[in-house]
């Protein structure tokens, strides 16, 4: 897919299974919305094919596809009330009045908006508008429902509620959901399959657990949760060397002495007394996060983030042990060296990037 000569999607090859909850996850501008718009038929790919039940639908306009969309800011029709918004697709399809009435009524029940039929759209809260948008799409009984950051405009509490709600609706209706988000937590908690995208390319496809536990490269490791990413060398199968020490690990199949990226999740690290540790370092900062402390530890000039309930004061010398299952090995990629160093870590950092992402499109 190209825009004005610029390649925005490259080598996207995706399968959607029936009744699957699939999420396209990635930062702003990674091409996830573009992918969705191609599936919906609003954009023509410059090359490549979109298949639906094995048939190419490249030339099928959006209004003839058995696909419906929940748009980013809902795009409800302001001149129609709740009932007429939901009935819109059915009326265009010229279904009999009784059937329209019965199906709209049923949908109102599914999204919990019974009694709101005659409300104006601008008299609804954000969460309610969201439900109308979902009902308006689902009432047409599409085979696939596309959702473009449907929860981005809601506040945190409502977002959590709607996540459960969406998952429930997907299971009740038994149709394929293709969900776009930049929120990794949302992706992990709702999806059957997560597709991590960046720079118009798919970085990894897998179940949420696999994506989290076995990230394919430094980008995925950093984007999904927090990661310490170190340079290492794979000495042999199950043996990796970093920081001048050899560690046992669970990974195999690398070339002998292949340089690799080593990922260690901050929550997998346990403190031990310095003399028992594989590595020793100095605590340089401690932030209380509620559930845990975010502790930055300096190991020979490389700063690690460690998430633990075990308080350590600033300036303390600590030791850590790394078990084989805590160490994950990845091939080197174009992202190596870009992520996973917490030298410039500050507590506000997270919030700043989140705000920036919210401004997408």
Binding site for another protein (CB under 8 A): 40, 42, 61-64, 67-69, 71-73, 75-79, 88-89, 92-93, 122, 124-126, 136-137, 140
Q: 282: closest CA among 264, 266, 263, 296?
A: 296
Q: Where are the beta strands (DSSP E) in 57-104?
A: 67-70
Q: Which residues contact 329 (CB under 8 A, 6 or more apart)?
A: 232, 234, 240, 249, 251, 254, 260, 261, 262, 263
Q: 116: closest CA among 361, 43, 127?
A: 127
DSSP state, residue 242: E
Give the nearest distance from C-beta 354 to another protein in angstroms: 23
Residue 194 contacts residue 208 (beta carbons within 8 Å): yes
Query: Residue 89 or 266: which CB sits closer to another protein?
Result: 89
What Cα–Cα distance (Å) separates residue 152 from each residue in 36, 145, 166, 352?
A: 16, 17, 14, 16
Give the nearest distance from C-beta 26 to another protein in angstroms: 21
Query: Residue 13 or 63: which CB sits closer to another protein?
Result: 63
Q: 206: closest CA among 187, 186, 183?
A: 187
Query: Residue 136 or 265: which CB sits closer to another protein?
Result: 136
**Can you say how many angstroms the Cα of residue 201 is from the centroid of all Cα atoms in its chain?**
15
Give the nearest distance from C-beta 263 to another protein in angstroms: 39
CA–CA gap between residue 174 and residue 161 (Å, rounded) = 20
Query: Residue 127 or 206: which CB sits closer to another protein?
Result: 127
Give the nearest distance from C-beta 213 to another protein in angstroms: 37
Give the nearest distance from C-beta 297 to another protein in angstroms: 47
Query: Residue 67 or 221: which CB sits closer to another protein?
Result: 67
Give the nearest distance from C-beta 83 to another protein in angstroms: 14
Q: What is the CA radius of gyration of the chain?
A: 24
Query: Residue 61 or 301: which CB sits closer to another protein?
Result: 61
């Amino acid at each position: 897919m190209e825009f004005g000569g610029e390649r925005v999607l490259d080598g996207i090859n995706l399968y959607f299974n029936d009744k699957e909850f699939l999420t396209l996850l990635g930062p702003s501008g990674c091409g996830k919305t573009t992918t969705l718009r191609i599936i919906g038929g609003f954009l023509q790919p410059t090359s490549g094919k979109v298949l639906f039940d094995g048939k190419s639908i490249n030339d099928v306009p959006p209004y003839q596809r058995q696909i419906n969309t929940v748009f980013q800011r809902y795009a409800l029709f302001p001149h129609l009330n709740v009932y007429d918004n939901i009935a819109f697709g059915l009326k265009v399809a010229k279904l009999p009045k009784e059937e329209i009435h019965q199906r709209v009524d049923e949908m109102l029940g599914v999204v919990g908006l019974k009694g709101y039929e005659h409300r104006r759209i601008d008299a609804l809260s954000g969460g309610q508008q969201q439900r109308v948008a979902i009902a308006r799409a689902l009432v047409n009984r599409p085979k696939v429902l596309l959702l473009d950051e449907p929860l981005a405009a809601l506040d945190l509490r409502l977002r959590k509620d709607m996540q459960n709600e969406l998952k429930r609706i997907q299971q009740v209706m038994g149709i394929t959901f293709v969900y776009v988000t930049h929120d990794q937590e949302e992706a992990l908690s709702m999806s059957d399959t997560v597709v991590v995208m960046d720079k118009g390319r798919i970085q990894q496809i897998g179940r949420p657990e696999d994506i989290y536990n076995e990230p394919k490269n430094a980008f995925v490791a950093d984007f999904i949760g927090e990661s310490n990413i170190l340079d290492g060398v794979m000495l042999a199968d199950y043996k990796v060397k970093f920081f001048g020490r050899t560690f046992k690990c669970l990974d195999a199949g690398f070339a002998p002495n292949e340089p690799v990226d080593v990922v260690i999740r901050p929550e997998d690290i346990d403190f031990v007394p310095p003399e028992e540790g594989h590595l020793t370092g100095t605590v340089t900062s401690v932030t209380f996060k509620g559930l845990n402390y975010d502790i930055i530890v300096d190991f020979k000039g490389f700063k690690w983030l460690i998430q633990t309930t075990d308080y350590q004061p600033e300036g303390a010398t600590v030791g850590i042990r790394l078990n084989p299952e805590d160490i994950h090995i990845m091939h080197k990629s174009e992202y190596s060296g870009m992520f996973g160093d917490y030298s410039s870590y500050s507590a506000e950092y997270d919030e700043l990037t989140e705000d920036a992402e919210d401004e997408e499109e």
